A and B are shown apart, each in its own frame.
Chain A
Amino acid sequence: MNDRQISEMLTRYRPVEPDEGVRARVLAQRPPVGRVWPWAAAAAALLAATIGLHTATSRRIATYNPEQAGADAVDSLTAALGGDRTARRMAEWIVLVGERRREPLRPE
């Protein structure tokens, strides 16, 4: 087989044409409306979460009132123990003991 015969064989064929699906898939692509940097979006989300967490935590710390928290605990425990004067004295004693045990761990 020489070059001429090879060329003749080649010319009996042609590369395949694209089917209609190729056109549809190519033109289904949409031009971008705006460039979005995924890393910037992730960084913004992380920053928003950090600020939100810091704000929520700061608010809780700023509004924390240890005396009110103790009084609430006594009221709650009094109700659980029966709600009478004896239950209140017992609740006050329990909360007081608990506060004294936590005192070394409280920040100055």
Chain B
Amino acid sequence: MFPYLHRTLSCGFIRVSLLTLFGLFSVSSPIPAAMITGTVDLGPEPRMPRLHGRYAQHAGGEPGPRPPRVAVVYLEGVFSPHPVAPAGDGPILEQEGLQFRPALLPIMVGTTVSFPNLDETYHNVFSYSKAKAFDLGRYLDEEKIPRVTFEEPGVVSVFCEIHNHMRATILVLDSPHFVTTDTSGSFRLEGLPAGEFTLVGWVNERRVFRRRVSLEVEDELEVDLNPKSDEG
């Protein structure tokens, strides 16, 4: 029976079905989970310095609207079972209107991200980050959508070589519990296990807030992440 089972499980279709069942099963019979809500202080908008000469020409030239500033809130700690990234198509970091969307993408370690080009013009997506350095070269939308799998946790800064202003950050996290705040900084983190963890609010590389939290089952905490409450 086992050999057959193995073969059956290898089949993709079976795999998906099983996952769906599992997911349904999860939804239909919820495990008691904690929840944290709160707000992250996003900080002031960056001020542009006075530019003149040829530098001034670049400053204002941003075609699409800038993506809104948000933060990522995640739970840091030791989780059991060890978190595994979902297989298959992962999140997408698309290029549209000469901007990356979303500008801040939290993913779990092992996730594969797709980078579709929805613009009429070439983009050249790359990153020099130590966590994952990649260079997708120039491509247009009708070509095969490039994918990158991120196996190391860390901050990955994504640039477009052709368009100076396009920026995105991929937060590769060791934790499955993460959420992106809204533009005002409010978040709602659900399905959290009980235990001792650190709640991290990540705005940018220089603006990270940490708070230790102790979660009980069915806890509903409200935690604000800002410079004052930051525990470093």
Physical interaction between A and B: no
